[in-house]
């Protein structure tokens, strides 16, 4: 496995019309979850990924599993739960600057992930372990599961990639979110926060100060993403900024960060420089925003090259 990831995926319902969801009568059913978004993104780029999770033994769970399996992700580590449902979320696209999500996931099968769901060998054999700050916010057992998986990765020298993905609605308090995100970041090798997430965690500082807070505590690579502006990268020896690509029209920004992570990680797997890996991350992130759905816009390698080339012309 090139990348193994752990977390919840859900059935995603999006109104077929823009505007307030209260007026929507018909919805499209899709699937999403930060971790499967990046797993699918990497599969499209030719890498083998595996997903550890729990889903309900229900119709949405059947469809979700077929979908993720159909994208080529290894789902051998997904446990079916006969007593708890697959999570659901709704995405309301009021307009491009106002996208709202509504979760129906409390008590879902994935919220009961536990250490029993983790096979040490599966993690030991991965080239990277990817985790987000979403899973530890779901429940105490989810938090413990993530910490256990990280300790196995650390034990087997598997680099941990951590995307804080702060979802304020899921945390009981800001203090708790900050404490957990900092704890996980210290155990990671690569962290991929947004600049606004770094501000949420540390308060008001400069971008290099945010990078140093991470670099001084463990990680060797930090990318601070600044949305449509671009991304700043830092290691102990180098730093730089790569501007974003221009996008004709942002249709749906949700999933862009996961697209960035997939593109960036594919670059590291290929041995690209930090600058080139960040450029690829920016390209995938931009391409995801042009299509409705978290994963529908994830490109193939050929499409990325075409997109980057077209931007230069
Ligand atoms: O990054 C996109 C995710 O936020 C979306 O797919 C849903 O995983 C999700 C979550 O928990 O918000």
Residue 32 CA: nearest ligand 1 atom is 6
What is the torsion angle, in degrees rounded to the nearest 10, for the CA atoms of residue 221, residue 226, residue 228 and residue 229?
-90
258 is catalytic: yes
How do residues 137-194 score in pLDDT, each as one tens digit? 999 999 999 999 999 999 999 999 999 999 999 999 999 999 999 999 999 999 999 9
pLDDT value of residue 60: 98
How do residues 237-278 score in pLDDT, each as one tens digit? 999 999 999 898 898 899 999 999 999 999 999 999 999 999
Average pLDDT, the chain: 96
**How close is the Cα of 27 to the center of ligand 1, in Å?**
18
How do residues 216-241 score in pLDDT, each as one tens digit? 999 999 999 998 899 999 999 999 99
CB of 80 sitting under 6 A from ligand 1: no
Residue 7 CA: nearest ligand 1 atom is 8
How do residues 84-137 score in pLDDT, each as one tens digit? 999 999 999 998 788 999 999 999 999 999 999 999 999 999 999 999 999 999
CB of 110 sitting under 6 A from ligand 1: no
Closest-CA residue, ligand 1 atom 7, reads 33
Residue 115 belongs to domain with CATH number: 3.40.1190.20
Closest-CA residue, ligand 1 atom 6, reads 33
Distance CA 136, CA 146 (A): 7
Query: Under a CB-based contact definition with an 8 Å cutoff, are residues 14 and 26 in contact?
Result: no
Query: Under a CB-based contact definition with an 8 Å cutoff, are residues 32 and 167 in contact?
Result: no
CB of 261 sitting under 6 A from ligand 1: no
Model confidence at 312: pLDDT above 90: no
| Short-list 54, 55, 50, CA closest to 38 | 50
Mutation test residue for ligand 1: of 12, 68, 87, 89, the one with most atoms within 8 Å of CB? 89
Backbone dihedral region for residue 165 (phi beyond 0: left; psi -120 to 50: alpha; all else: beta): left
Closest-CA residue, ligand 1 atom 3, reads 34
CB of 134 sitting under 6 A from ligand 1: yes
**Residue range of the domain that includes 183:** 3-312
**How close is the Cα of 237 to the center of ligand 1, in Å?**
33
CB of 279 sitting under 6 A from ligand 1: no
CB of 259 sitting under 6 A from ligand 1: no
Question: Percentage of residues in the chain with pLDDT exceeding 90?
Answer: 93
Interface predicted TM-score (ipTM)? 0.96
pLDDT value of residue 31: 98
Model pTM? Answer: 0.96
The one-character DSSP state at 189 is S
Number of domains in the chain: 1
Query: Under a CB-based contact definition with an 8 Å cutoff, are residues 274 and 237 in contact?
Result: no
Inter-CA distances, 219 with 81, 107, 169, 211, 234, Å:
35, 33, 27, 10, 10
Residue 170 CA: nearest ligand 1 atom is 11
Catalytic residue among 119, 258, 276, 294: 258
């Amino acid at each position: 496995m090139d990348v193994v990831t752990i977390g919840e995926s859900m059935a995603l319902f999006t109104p077929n019309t823009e505007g307030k969801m209260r007026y929507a009568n018909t919805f499209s059913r899709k699937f999403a979850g930060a971790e499967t978004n990046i797993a699918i993104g990497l599969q499209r780029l030719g890498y083998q990924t595996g997903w550890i999770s729990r889903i309900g033994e229900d119709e949405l769970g059947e469809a979700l599993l077929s979908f993720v399996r159909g994208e080529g992700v290894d789902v051998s580590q997904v446990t079916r739960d006969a007593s708890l449902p697959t999570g659901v979320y709704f995405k309301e696209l009021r307009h491009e600057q106002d996208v709202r999500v509504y979760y129906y996931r409390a008590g879902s099968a994935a919220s009961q992930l536990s250490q029993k769901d983790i096979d040490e060998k599966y993690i030991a054999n991965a080239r990277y372990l990817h985790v987000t700050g979403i899973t530890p916010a779901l429940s105490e057992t989810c938090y413990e599961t993530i910490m256990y998986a990280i300790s196995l990765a650390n034990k087997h020298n598997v680099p941990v990639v951590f995307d804080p993905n702060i979802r304020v609605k899921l945390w009981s308090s800001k203090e708790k979110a900050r404490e957990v995100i900092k704890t996980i970041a210290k155990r990671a090798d690569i962290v991929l926060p947004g600049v606004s997430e770094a501000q949420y965690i540390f308060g008001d500082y400069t971008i290099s100060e945010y990078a140093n807070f991470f670099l001084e505590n463990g990680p060797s690579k930090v990318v601070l993403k600044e949305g449509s502006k671009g991304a700043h990268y830092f290691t102990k020896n180098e730093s730089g900024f790569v501007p974003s690509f221009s996008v004709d029209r942002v249709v749906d920004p949700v999933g862009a960060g996961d697209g960035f992570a997939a593109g960036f990680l594919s670059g590291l797997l290929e041995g690209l420089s930090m600058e080139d890996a960040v450029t690829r991350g920016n390209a995938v992130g931009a391409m995801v925003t042009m299509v409705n759905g978290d994963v529908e816009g994830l490109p193939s390698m050929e499409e990325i090259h075409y997109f980057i080339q077209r931007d230069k012309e």
